[in-house]
Each structure stands twice: as C-alpha cells, then as structure tokens.
A and B are shown apart, each in its own frame.
Chain A
Amino acid sequence: MPAIEILGLEKTYHVGFWRKQAKRALHPLQLTVAEGEIFGFLGPNGAGKTTTIKMLMGLVFPSGGTARVLGGSISDPAVRAQVGFLPEQPYFYDYLTARELLEYYGQLSGIPGQERRQKVKAMLERVGLGEAGNVQLRKFSKGMLQRVGIAQAILHDPKIVIFDEPMSGLDPMGRREVRDLIEQLKQEGKTVFFSTHILSDAEALCDRVAILHQGQLRGVGAVAELTANVQGKIELIWSGTTAPAALKAISAELHVSGDTVRAVLAEDRQESALDILKQSGLRLISLTPVRSSLEDYFVSQVGPDKISAGAGS
C-alpha cells in the first residue's frame, strides 16, 4: 500500500471583489509516495507546493480529485494520528514553554500521561532543546522554533512525516541537523515527504523527487533517472586570454582566468568547438564531461528566471 496517493488533486481559487476571476493554483496532480521513502517535492515559490501539502493535510479543500494517506482519508482522525506535519515557517503559542507546547500536542494526539511526559523529555533532548524546555517560545530564535516544529511533528511517532520547507531560514548547521534527522527518520522506517526549493538538500536526501512549476507536475522520479535525460555538457580549457568569436557564439559560459580560458557548452557542440580551436591555433589543455545535477534538470523544466526568484526567498 502506498503511503500517499494523490489522485488528480486540483485547486482553483476565485479571486477579486466578486470572486469571479478564477486562479488555478494546482492543475490535476497524480503522485504516489511509497512507504519508507524520502520524497522531495520541489519547485520555485508559488509553484503550488504548499497548496498541495495543505490539501493533503485537510487544511484546504480541493476543487477536484482526491488524496489517500495510508489508504484512508485525511479527514479520518485515525489517519491523522499516523501523520506528523511541520508547516512552513511555523508559529506556535508563544506564551507556552517548549515543554508545555509538546505536552499539549501530546494530549491532542492522545498519548497517555506517563508515556507523554517521557516522550516530551526525550524529544526535547533529540532536537537539542533539553536545556531550553522551560523557556517560553516568545524567547526562541527562528532556528529553535524550527526544532520545536520538528519535535511536535514526530512526537507521536507517526508513520508519515510531512515537512513544508523544513530547511527554510536555517543556518548551515541547522540545515545539516535537519538533513541528519530526516535520514534518521528513514532508518526508523518512516515515510518522509518534504517540500523545498533548496535543490542540494533534495539531491542529497531524496529517494525520489517531483518537480512542480506553475501548478503543474514537470517531472517525477529518482534523481539519477531525471538527470540522465538532461542534455550533457562539456568543459573545455585552453591556453590563451581570449576566445574566438565563433566559439563565443556556441558557448553557454566563458571564463578567463590568468592565461587560460574555460568554456562550458552543450555536448553536441563538442566537434564544432574542437574544430574552431584547431583553426584558431589554440592549444587545448582539457576536455571534461560535466555531470548533470538536479539543478540542471530543474532549470530545464522550470527555467532560470524562476530559479533566481525562488532562491531569493
């Protein structure tokens, strides 16, 4: 049984004063997440990732389609008890201490008293907040709040964990810790579904990824499968301080440093480039194939303009 099945889920918002203008946030989406896998949900800001996650969690109602979590509906409290959720940029009751907040969430998740107290204590230690358990959340930094958010999402030992932008706003150490935690969750047999626009994190962690852009699914699969289809690139380095005009016309990138020039160009232009260098009498130093990364695939599906917009957020 798949952990998550998204069957034609779609969302259209009606905007404007009379709500007559339809704005499609998500086109019908088909997606399956297997049990025990780490699944990355990628896309630039405004792609529809959060809308999809909110529909999956029952916070927003779909305009069409349906979703099944562990074979059931998310509207069933018994199914929700098996799911942990971290919203994007979480905000919690800041008049509570971290311990009180986790106690409260434990109560709502139906964890019995003695077990709950033990779990809260262990969870605070696990996310590195053992010392700050009795401090009110209004005194917490953004990184500490993110840790509390992760703690509340996994406190009740759910089978599926859904994180919306878990690395957002974290420093490099914080991001590393979240990555380690996601890997630990996988080792514990949990399914992790997380959205992000930080591609390196997704590439390092995910068994499979899906790329969403403007509410439409642009690709889904293992990172290696996706990048295998991206047109390869080569890197040429030669001696000199200038590049022939003909080579400039076919190169994607050109960099001059000291007495060498580096050009990156599409694999299918390799023969032409070598001919140009030969005709110009330039001495080739190296020719190296460039490995396609998830970022290359992402760019090919989404476009560089959207990436720069997403990276700035």
Chain B
Amino acid sequence: MNRRVLHIARNTFREAVRDRVLYNLIAFALLMSGAAILVGQISIDIERLVVINLGLTAVSLFGVVIAIFIGIGLVSKEIDRRTLYTILTRPVRRWEFITGKFFGLAGTLLVNTLCMAVGVFAALLYVSHRFQRADGWVLVALYFIVLQFLIITALALLFSAFSTPLMSAVFAFALFVVGCFSEDLRGFAAMAHGAEKWLATAAAYVIPNFSALNVITSVAHGQPVSGQLVLYNTIYALIYVLMALSGAVLIFERRNLK
C-alpha cells in the first residue's frame, strides 16, 4: 500500500482508539455474558440458536453505529477543525487522504469485530460446552458483517465529502435500513409494471444489498453458506466500496476548503 495512505490509516485508527471507540467492547462483553448466563438458565436445546442470533446481531449493530458515526466525521470534522490544511499542503494527494481514512476506519472496525467474535465464541462455548462443526459458519456470517461495514464506511465517507455530518448520518442510516430490505424491494420490482417497475428495479440496484450479506438466521440454524454466495458477496462488496470511494474522491477533489 502507498506509504502515505498507510500513515493516514494508522493515524485514523489511533484517533479511534484514543477517542475510546473500542470502549463499546465493554458494553458488548456485558451483553454477551449476561445473555449467555440467562439463555443457559431458561432455554432448552435452543441456546446455540439464541446466542448466535443475539451475538451476531449485536456485532452488526455495534459496528454499523461506529461505521456511520465515525465515518460521517472522517472528512467533515477535519474540514471544520481545519486539521486538513496541514495535511493537504504536504505531498499528500486528496485521493490518498480519502483512501487512508477509509482503511483507518475499516481497520478499527475489523479489530472491533475480531474482539466481538471472540466474545460470541466464548458465549457459545459457555452454553454448548463444546464447539460444533456448524459453528464454523459463524465465521462466514462475521465475514459478511465486515463486508457490510466496509460498504457503510465507504457510503458514510461519500456523504461526508459533500454534506453536513447530520445529513450524512441520516443518509447513511436510511440507506442501511432500506438496504436490509433490498430483497423485498427486488420482489416488489418483479411484481410491478411500467414506471414503477423501472424505478423499483433502479432503486434495487443502487441501494446496497445488505439482505444478501445477512446470513445470521441460517447460520444460527446450522445451515451451510455456499461458496458461490461468499464469492458473489465479496465481489459485490468490493465493487460497491470502490464505486462509493471513487464518488467520494471525485467530489472531494473539487471541493474548496474555505
């Protein structure tokens, strides 16, 4: 990786750590240990199902909140505080700054997710007393959750490149919610006619397909995830991230830093 991108990414990660972003892990640890103890007492034969469902949903929600609320400030906060002036007047290109910021937050989310994954598996071990072969699919679900984070981070950066933090948060969160129901949108497009069909189909393609990246329920039931889906989701997420980041760079390249 370009060294300047790497330095900016490392500093973004350091900022998140020093701003105590990883403190959310404490809340997550409390949630998981509380849930594991409670489930162990009241559930019969469905402890695994409940722990995986609850654990992965919590990993997803905690990460999405971090991705949106830090992502929207990655550029706008630097402009507001004018910290950007002493960065972009060095031999740093604007695309390097955007890319570095993206990788910095992506790295923060990855470390956060890894720590949470350890918590989920610890809770699983507590309720099941041993790991099963099907628990391996939890790793695939976690991988898909990380892909979701990458898309949301890129979108938050895109909005942050031209909008206020509040509006960026609204846009990013709205897209996340709509994206979670994108399969329904595709179903609606298939049934609609005329202009409605055209609009719904266009929206279904533009909005990130978070439905396809959510395999929590099937994994909780021990169902395998196909290699094809892993491949398609990986390619889809990478293309989406690339497009959102390219948009952010194109906007930011033309932006006056008043």
**A interface residues (Cβ-Cβ under 8 A, vs B):** 54, 57-61, 77-78, 80-81, 83, 85, 87, 89-93, 95-96, 104-105, 107-110, 149, 152-153, 156
Which residue of chain B lies nearest to A88 when distances are taken between CB atoms in the complex?
Answer: B82
Chain B residues within 8 Å of A85, by CB? 85-86, 89
A105 x B90 contact (CB < 8 A): yes
Chain B residues within 8 Å of A77, by CB? 91-93
Which residue of chain B lies nearest to A79 when distances are taken between CB atoms in the complex?
Answer: B91
B7 x A107 contact (CB < 8 A): yes
Most buried by A among B14, B89, B92, B257: B89
**B interface residues (Cβ-Cβ under 8 A, vs A):** 3-4, 7-8, 11, 14-15, 18-19, 81-83, 85-93, 254, 256-258
- Taking a contact as CB atoms closer than 8 A, the residue among B19, B86, B87, B93 that contacts A95 in the complex is B19
Q: A91-B83, A108-B87, A109-B91 are in contact. List 4 more A-B contacts (CB 8 A).
A: A57-B89, A60-B256, A96-B11, A105-B90
- Taking a contact as CB atoms closer than 8 A, the residue among A81, A87, A90, A92 that contacts B90 in the complex is A81
A58 x B88 contact (CB < 8 A): yes
A-B contacts, 22 listed (Cβ < 8 Å): A58-B88, A59-B88, A60-B258, A61-B254, A77-B92, A81-B90, A85-B85, A85-B86, A90-B82, A90-B85, A91-B81, A92-B83, A93-B15, A95-B15, A95-B18, A96-B14, A104-B11, A107-B7, A108-B8, A108-B91, A109-B90, A110-B91
A80 x B7 contact (CB < 8 A): no
| Whole-angstrom distance between the Cβ of A227 and the nearest chain B Cβ | 34
- Taking a contact as CB atoms closer than 8 A, the residue among A58, A91, A92, A104 that contacts B89 in the complex is A58
Question: When chains A and B are docked, how far (Å) is the Cα of A90 from the Cα of B19?
Answer: 21
Question: When chains A and B are docked, how far (Å) is the Cα of A49 from the Cα of B93?
Answer: 24
| Whole-angstrom distance between the Cβ of A73 and the nearest chain B Cβ | 13
Which residue of chain B lies nearest to A25 when distances are taken between CB atoms in the complex?
Answer: B258
Chain B residues within 8 Å of A156, by CB? 90
| Whole-angstrom distance between the Cβ of B77 and the nearest chain A Cβ | 10
A105 x B86 contact (CB < 8 A): yes
Chain B residues within 8 Å of A110, by CB? 3, 91
B7 x A108 contact (CB < 8 A): yes
Chain A residues within 8 Å of B254, by CB? 61
Chain A residues within 8 Å of B14, by CB? 95-96
B15 x A108 contact (CB < 8 A): no
Chain A residues within 8 Å of B257, by CB? 54, 59-60
A59 x B89 contact (CB < 8 A): yes
Chain B residues within 8 Å of A104, by CB? 7, 11
A93 x B88 contact (CB < 8 A): no
Chain B residues within 8 Å of A90, by CB? 82, 85-86
Question: When chains A and B are docked, how far (Å) is the Cα of A118 from the Cα of B178?
Answer: 53
Going nearest first, the 7 A-B pairs with the smallest beta carbon separation are: A77-B91, A95-B18, A85-B89, A59-B257, A87-B85, A107-B7, A81-B91
- Taking a contact as CB atoms closer than 8 A, the residue among B4, B256, B258 that contacts A108 in the complex is B4
Question: When chains A and B are docked, how far (Å) is the Cα of A91 from the Cα of B11?
Answer: 16
| Whole-angstrom distance between the Cβ of B4 and the nearest chain A Cβ | 6
Which residue of chain A lies nearest to B84 when distances are taken between CB atoms in the complex?
Answer: A59
A91 x B7 contact (CB < 8 A): no
- Taking a contact as CB atoms closer than 8 A, the residue among B3, B83, B91, B256 that contacts A80 in the complex is B91
Question: When chains A and B are docked, how far (Å) is the Cα of A34 from the Cα of B86?
Answer: 24
- Taking a contact as CB atoms closer than 8 A, the residue among B11, B85, B91, B92 that contacts A93 in the complex is B11
A92 x B91 contact (CB < 8 A): no
Question: When chains A and B are docked, how far (Å) is the Cα of A12 from the Cα of B15?
Answer: 36
Question: When chains A and B are docked, how far (Å) is the Cα of A92 from the Cα of B78?
Answer: 9
Question: When chains A and B are docked, how far (Å) is the Cα of A59 from the Cα of B11?
Answer: 21
| Whole-angstrom distance between the Cβ of B64 and the nearest chain A Cβ | 24
Most buried by A among B14, B81, B90, B257: B90
| Whole-angstrom distance between the Cβ of B258 and the nearest chain A Cβ | 7
Question: When chains A and B are docked, how far (Å) is the Cα of A110 from the Cα of B6?
Answer: 12
Chain B residues within 8 Å of A92, by CB? 83, 86
Question: When chains A and B are docked, how far (Å) is the Cα of A109 from the Cα of B85?
Answer: 14
Question: When chains A and B are docked, how far (Å) is the Cα of A77 from the Cα of B96?
Answer: 12
Question: When chains A and B are docked, how far (Å) is the Cα of A61 from the Cα of B91?
Answer: 17
Chain A residues within 8 Å of B15, by CB? 93, 95
Chain A residues within 8 Å of B4, by CB? 107-108
Chain B residues within 8 Å of A87, by CB? 82, 85-86
Chain B residues within 8 Å of A153, by CB? 86
Chain A residues within 8 Å of B85, by CB? 57, 59, 85, 87, 90
Which residue of chain B lies nearest to A152 when distances are taken between CB atoms in the complex?
Answer: B86
Question: When chains A and B are docked, how far (Å) is the Cα of A156 from the Cα of B88?
Answer: 15
